[in-house]
């Protein structure tokens, strides 16, 4: 056993040394306190159109097994580095989509490879425990090193999960349990509660609701779909709960020219939100919780001011609703802070904060009173994966060591200024440039043009993805320097030449 571990470490060390001499590798990090070698390619290199012949053959093969309508192309992750994704046809693309905004510090980061080469971590990688009943000895320490080291203000408890949808789904359950215990004045259900819940009837299965917002996206599982309102394809043919929806502000840009109009729009949305809560209580389906994204991502990168969120928080308190901030898309540093809600400047911003994607694991932080009152109420087999907490701890070390949050702020300004310039240059095509940190967006004239750009840009070596009805999200994922921390959107750009130039102009400004 010992000899095999030594052999593996030697092989990994050899592979790393070979990467150093590989064509296209270069030093790119100068912000770290100590000089570090980091590996990235110099630029895209396209051999075929995308998908190429090998990708097409694999897509046909996979199509015999499952639906492949969403498959873009097949990837060679072993050869992908930093900001660059390599496909099976040896096309190398600048990846500004970053696996639907889930890659925090680029592909094959040396610090993570070194971590995985440590034989002391083999057990964590090989064994996946049922964390709710049989956690490993070091689990409390690893949670403290990773998730709790970046916990939101006022929260010292975290519940791990596997993905964004199950994080939100279980957060909803926690809010319902909290609300019913509050109504009862204790946490002991009656005999009637117990018996009726087994046949899906009240009071054991109460008529309670979660309020969400038009344009929001919170996942694709059954409960989450009732709060998802971004695209019909997610919801079509699936039964849904009778839960309320409120309007999310639609701001006008540039912000400084529409101060009065935007303030009126946000006031209107807050007023309608409170009206909805009152109406749902009157119809016998009270709102137990409110869920909202700090920036609506999948729904089109829609922003609102800190005053709007402060007003919403106050409405939740007034009506006794739990306030759930969904940071699955925005958490992890893309806005220049670990959590987008930190920009609101509140000491008590939320009761629950859910996360996933760039945090590598899923879960939610919560206040003490939303702790599950009995075992197995918030539960599944795995409840996360300890190996992801191990990786996350090292990702956070890299972010701190290389001052990536500061780099996000600096690069985000360069990016947004570039989008402003392009918007001025192509007013018939681009509009509504906006952003926070590198979580930036710009709208395009129509959906067909947007989609055409995505395909043409990909063939030129720039990998993008769409969101909303006419947006292109995720220019760069969290590793700003080689580049990123997410540029959640470059939303909608019409001509391929523009988009191609934008991407390389941005990369040139952000590379160190």
451 CB-near residues (< 8 Å, 6+ apart): 466
Q: What is the DSSP string of 417-480?
A: HHHHHHHHH-TTTEEEEEEETTEEEEEES-HHHHHHHHHHHHHTTEE---BTTTB-EEEEEEET
What is the rounded distance in angstroms from the CA atom of residue 81 to the CA atom of residue 477?
A: 13
Tokens of 448: 């067909």
Tokens of 149: 């080291």
Q: DSSP label at 417? A: H
Q: How many CB atoms lie within 10 A of CB 301?
A: 30
What is the rounded distance in angstroms from the CA atom of residue 127 to the CA atom of residue 205?
A: 37
What is the rounded distance in angstroms from the CA atom of residue 134 to the CA atom of residue 239?
A: 36
Q: DSSP label at 155? A: -
Distances (CA, A) of 289 to 244, 332, 364, 395: 11, 24, 15, 32
Tokens of 269: 């949305």
Tokens of 212: 């969400």
β-strands 430-436, 209-213 pairing = unpaired
Is residue 299 classed exposed, middle or buried when 0-12, 13-18 and 19+ CB atoms within 10 A define those classes? buried
| 354 within 8 A of 324, measured Cβ to Cβ | yes
Among residues 410, 341, 332, which one has the least CA distance to residue 103? 332
What is the rounded distance in angstroms from the CA atom of residue 75 to the CA atom of residue 268?
A: 47
Alpha helices (runs of H) in 429-495, residue ranges in sequence order: 447-459
Q: How many CB atoms lie within 10 A of CB 205?
A: 14
Tokens of 222: 């059954």
- Residues that are catalytic: 217, 326, 357, 381
What is the rounded distance in angstroms from the CA atom of residue 157 to the CA atom of residue 353?
A: 11
Among residues 383, 366, 367, which one has the least CA distance to residue 375? 383
């Amino acid at each position: 056993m010992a000899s095999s571990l030594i052999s593996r470490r030697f092989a990994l060390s050899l592979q790393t040394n070979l990467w150093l001499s590989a064509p296209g590798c270069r030093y790119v990090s100068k912000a770290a306190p100590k000089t570090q070698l980091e590996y990235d390619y110099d630029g895209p290199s396209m051999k075929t159109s995308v998908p190429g012949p090998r990708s097409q053959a694999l897509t046909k093969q996979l199509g015999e097994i499952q639906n492949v309508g969403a498959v873009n192309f097949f990837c060679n992750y072993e050869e992908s580095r930093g900001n660059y994704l390599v496909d099976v046809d040896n096309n190398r693309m600048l990846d500004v989509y970053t696996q639907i905004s889930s890659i925090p510090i680029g592909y094959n980061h040396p610090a993570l490879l070194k971590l995985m080469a440590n034989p002391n971590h083999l057990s964590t990688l090989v064994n996946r425990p049922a964390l709710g009943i049989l956690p490993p000895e070091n689990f409390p320490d690893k949670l403290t090193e990773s998730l709790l080291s970046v916990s939101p203000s006022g929260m010292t408890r975290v519940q791990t999960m596997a993905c964004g949808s199950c994080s939100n789904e279980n957060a909803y359950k926690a809010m319902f349990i909290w609300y019913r215990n509050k109504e009862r004045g204790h946490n002991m259900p009656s005999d009637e509660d117990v018996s009726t819940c087994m046949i899906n009837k009240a009071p054991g299965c109460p008529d309670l609701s979660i309020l969400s917002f038009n344009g929001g996206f919170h996942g694709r599982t059954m409960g989450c779909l009732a709060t998802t309102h971004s695209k019909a394809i997610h919801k079509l043919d699936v039964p849904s709960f009778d839960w309320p929806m409120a309007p999310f502000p639609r701001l006008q840009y540039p912000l400084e020219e529409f101060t009065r109009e935007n303030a009126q729009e946000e006031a209107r949305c807050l007023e309608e939100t409170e009206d909805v809560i009152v109406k749902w209580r009157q119809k016998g389906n009270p709102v137990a919780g409110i869920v909202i994204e700090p920036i609506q991502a999948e729904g089109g990168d829609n922003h609102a001011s800190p005053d709007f969120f402060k007003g919403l928080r106050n409405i939740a308190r007034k009506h006794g609703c739990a306030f759930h901030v969904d940071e699955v898309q925005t958490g992890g540093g893309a806005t220049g802070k670990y959590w987008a809600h930190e920009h609101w400047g509140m000491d008590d911003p939320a009761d629950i904060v859910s996360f996933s994607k760039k945090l590598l694991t899923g879960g939610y932080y919560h206040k003490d009173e939303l702790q599950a009152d009995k075992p197995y109420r918030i539960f599944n087999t795995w409840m996360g994966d300890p190996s992801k907490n191990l990786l996350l701890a090292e990702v956070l070390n890299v972010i701190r060591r290389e001052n990536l949050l500061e780099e996000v702020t600096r690069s985000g300004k360069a990016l947004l200024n570039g989008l402003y310039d392009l918007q001025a240059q192509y007013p018939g095509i681009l509009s509504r440039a906006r952003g926070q940190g590198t979580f930036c967006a710009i709208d395009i004239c129509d959906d067909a043009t947007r989609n055409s750009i995505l395909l043409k840009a990909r063939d030129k070596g720039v990998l993008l993805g769409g969101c909303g009805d006419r947006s292109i999200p995720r220019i760069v994922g969290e590793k700003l320097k080689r580049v990123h921390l997410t540029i959640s959107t470059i939303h909608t750009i019409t001509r391929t030449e523009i988009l191609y130039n934008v991407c390389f102009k941005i990369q040139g400004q952000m590379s160190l």
